[in-house]
Amino acid sequence: MKTRNTPTLVAAIVGGFNRTRFFSIVRIATAGVLISAAAAMAVILSTEALVSVGSPPSPLAQNAQSEPALAVDAAHPNVMAAGANDTIDMEAYNAGDDTTFPPFPFTPGVGISGVYFSFDSGHTWTQPTYTGYSGRFGIDNSCLGVVGPDPGCTPDPAGPIGTLPWYYENGLIPFGDPAVAFGPSPDTNGNFSWTNGSRLYYANIAFNFGQTFRGVAAAYVSRTDDVAAAAAGDKNAWMQPVLVSKQNSSLFSDKEQIWADNAASSPFFGNVYICYTAIRSRSRGNARPQPVMVAVSSDGGNTWTTRQVTEAATNFLHGFRTASTVRTDSNGVVYLFFAHFAAGTPGIGTHAMVKSYDGGQTWTPPQDIVSMNDACYNVDPVIGRCVEDGIAGARMDLTAAPSVDIANGAPTGADATDEIVDTWGDGRLGLNNEKVMLSYSTNGGDSWSSPTAITSAGDRGYYAAAAISPNGQQLYIGYNAFTTPYRTNTSDPRSLVGVVLHADIGADGTPTGWTELHRSPPGDPRGSSDLGTAEFLGDYVYAIATSTYGAAVWNDTRNAADCPAVDAWRMSLRGGPPAPVPAPQQDCPSTFGNVDIFSWTSAP
């Protein structure tokens, strides 16, 4: 288990630092005291940290993470948990054929649901090591391979893993789309109270490693009531994974999100909600039914009841729905949001909302609330998906997905305003003018403010996340952005940054006084990789807020080296002169593919 922090000094004003008082102290201090004061300042202002601390800088693909999730324990706000797609346990490219990574970029049977913990409000992070089915080294180091042909990777059934435990033992593969939430623990009678302690829920998509469930992919949840032990590498601190989705033989459950009702004022305090898209057909025909589903647990995640909350039809007439998220207010009202793409107008649509007033038993009809545009101006011909940064760029399927938070007063609910905030990446203003948009509601979602662009100057908004403090006073927005225009080649540099914005919430609920709290060092996203044929940054970022601080996590490519051999090959796949298929460990810098998860916190 390793812990590492990357300090970044930010303006003293960020933490409410009193400059006058500081310089008064300095004027009367001795030289020794001056040194101590400077050291203390550096500690206080170290607000950026590496989350994926267990990840090596090489080899590919063990060095890659994406799709970070973040949760804070409302009852213990110094405690946070994060998740990410993490390939730390995969085989190296040199295993087997040095130019391929079968099948796809994953070692069969090896999981990617990485888990991380912080006990100081996000200043430092730890990634535990458990045991499970691992291609990190493999039997006789076979998963590291050698230069040239070799027999390939033989994973170790009891090897080191930096991902969720107990999946291999249950015939499962934890396969990403991480989502984390804290709620109260139940007592032996099933009653929820913060005095019982806190329970961490980690939802993810799982595949069969055997035949444990019906269908292609299912939503599962892992739980722990002892995050300290889990962070220290105690596999037994985690309960066995539980099937959430109601499966059938053809179902692919995808893009799940989780929330625990964490305000004690709620009549459904302790309920847990998981929303996901139920892809019932993988065909490319005119009808691809994929309704949005919600699973509800009232017993701490032991059992789940699933309900369909949108129509299933996905076609030219009805459009399609995806990318859902769920939250609760101080009265226990459940709000589900999703992207509703319109029929016949690709990339254009709305955010829609459904509500439940009885703990998820029944739901209102969907209501379109704000317009959105997913900026799909360029479809990459090789991956068949929209890209924003350039040819062979990172997919941007869910940039327009809603990221929602509610000021529900957790953990007590007493000081809630129940204001709702919604943010997303939007392309309505055209190519190279993509923005992060914000809308909010102060009346339970009955009406919404007009979408407003909040992106800092020069940023082309990509994925975004919103977090409002439980008392409704502070708003934090975290986002990834490209700062270079769309590239028509793979040779020109590209730039990706992580940004955190802040606004105060006025008496009428309006965010005011926008300030950029943090901007990460830039990185070149060409250094990321999916199957090698394109970049990969996943589908979302996350943010949290307490009544005293905010934090965000994002995909970061500062430590990922561009590989000219891969650039040339990617370009040739799109109609250029044929280029040889590269062997990344021989033809690229050692840190090609090294995408990290970084965080920023405003906590002192």
pLDDT exceeds 50 at position 27: no
**DSSP line for 396-430:** -TTTTS-EEEE---TTT-TT----EEEEEEE-TT-
Smallest Cα–Cα separation from 117: which of 85, 160, 66, 72?
A: 72
Confidence (pLDDT) at 58 = 97
**Has residue 73 got a pLDDT over 60?**
yes
C-alpha to C-alpha distance for 441 and 439, rounded to whole angstroms: 7
Q: Which pLDDT belongs to residue 320?
A: 81
- Which string of b and e fits 561-586 if b means at least 16 CB within 10 Å? bbbebbbbbbbebeeeeeeebbbbbe
The rounded distance, in Å, linking the Cα atoms of 393 and 56 is 24
Which band of pLDDT confidence, cut at 50, 70 and 90, is reported for residue 32? Answer: very low
- Neighbouring C-beta atoms of residue 152, cutoff 10 Å: 15
Q: Would you state the structure tokens that stand for residue 355, as one six-digit string?
A: 């509500």
pLDDT of residue 347: 78
CA distance readout (Å), 38 to 32, 44, 69, 136? 10, 10, 34, 41
Starting from the edge strand earliest in sequence, which strands make up the sheet with 460-468, in order? 460-468, 474-482, 496-505, 511-519
User: In what helix (H) or strand (E) does residue 468 lie, and over which residues does it extend?
Assistant: strand 460-468
Is residue 31 scored above 80 in pLDDT?
A: no
pLDDT at 14: 32
Domain total of the chain: 1
- The dihedral through the CA atoms of 67, 452, 496, 392 has a sign that is positive
26 has pLDDT over 50: no
d(CA 331, CA 123): 33
What does the pLDDT read at residue 346?
Answer: 66
Our CA angle for 379, 385, 386, nearest 5°, is: 55
Residue 581 in any domain: the answer is yes
One-letter amino acid at 343 equals: A
Q: What is the pLDDT at residue 531? A: 84
Q: Coil, helix or strand for 278? A: strand
Which structural domain, as residue segments, surrounds residue 551? 375-604
Model confidence at 30: pLDDT above 70: no
pLDDT for 305 equals: 98
pLDDT of residue 344: 62
Instruction: Dig out the tokens for 170 from the structure.
Output: 């249950």
* Residue 5 neighbours by CB distance under 10 Å: 15
SS3 breakdown of the chain: % helix, strand, coil, rounded to 5? 10, 35, 55
* 123 inside domain: no
CA 487 vs CA 2, 359, 378, 495, 524: distances in Å: 38, 48, 11, 11, 12
Supply φ then ψ for residue 51, to 5 degrees.
Answer: -85, -45
Instruction: State the average pLDDT for the chain.
Output: 90
- pLDDT digits over 204-225, tens only? 999 999 899 999 999 999 999 9
Q: C-alpha angle with apex 359: 356 to 361, nearest 5 degrees?
A: 75
pLDDT of residue 439: 98
For residue 160, give every residue at least 6 positions away whose Cβ sits within 8 Å of its Cβ, in sequence order, or none: 89, 129, 130, 131, 134, 136, 137
- Asked if 112 contacts 91 with a C-beta cutoff of 8 angstroms, the reply is no
Which amino acid type is present at position 148? G
107 is a domain residue: no
Could you tell me if residue 335 is inside a domain? no
d(CA 344, CA 228): 51
Q: How confident is the model at residue 28 (pLDDT cuts 50, 70, 90)?
A: very low
What's the pLDDT at 435? 98
Q: Taking 80 as the threshold, does the pLDDT of residue 510 lie above it?
A: yes
Q: Are 292 and 275 in contact (CB under 8 A)?
A: yes
Confidence label for 375 from pLDDT (cuts 50, 70 and 90): confident
pLDDT at residue 22 in the model: 31
Higher pLDDT residue, 22 or 190?
A: 190
| Cα 284 from chain centroid (whole Å) | 28
pLDDT at 195: 98
CB 475 within 8 A of CB 468: yes
Higher per-residue confidence, 3 vs 570:
570
Mean pLDDT across the stretch 464-475?
98
Are the CB atoms for 524 and 579 separated by under 8 Å?
no
Residue 153 has pLDDT above 90, yes or no: yes
- DSSP secondary structure code for residue 92 in this structure: P
For residue 201, what pLDDT is reported? 99
| Helix 31-44 and helix 19-28, axial crossing angle in degrees, nearest 10 | 150
Phi, psi of 251, deg, nearest 5? -80, 135
What is the SS3 assignment for 179-202? EEEEEEEECCCCCEEEEEEEEEEE
- In a domain? residue 122: no
In a domain, 70, yes or no: no
Q: What is the 3-state secondary structure (H, E, C) of 216-232?
A: CEEEEEEEECCHHHHHC
* Residue 243: CA count within 13 A, CB half-sphere: 16
Peptide bond into 59 cis (omega under 30): yes
* pLDDT at position 453: 98
Read off the tokens for 240. 């066995």
Instruction: Tally the C-alpha atoms within 13 A of residue 154's C-alpha that lie toward its C-beta.
Output: 6
Residue 535 lies in a domain: yes
Going by C-beta distance under 8 Å and a sequence separation of 6 or more, which residues neighbour residue 11? none
Answer positive or negative: Cα dihedral of 201, 207, 211, 214. positive
Closest to 452 (Cα-Cα) out of 464, 439, 466: 439
Does residue 146 lie in a domain region? no
Predicted confidence at residue 391, as pLDDT, reads 97
Q: What integer pLDDT is reported at residue 573 of this predicted model?
A: 96
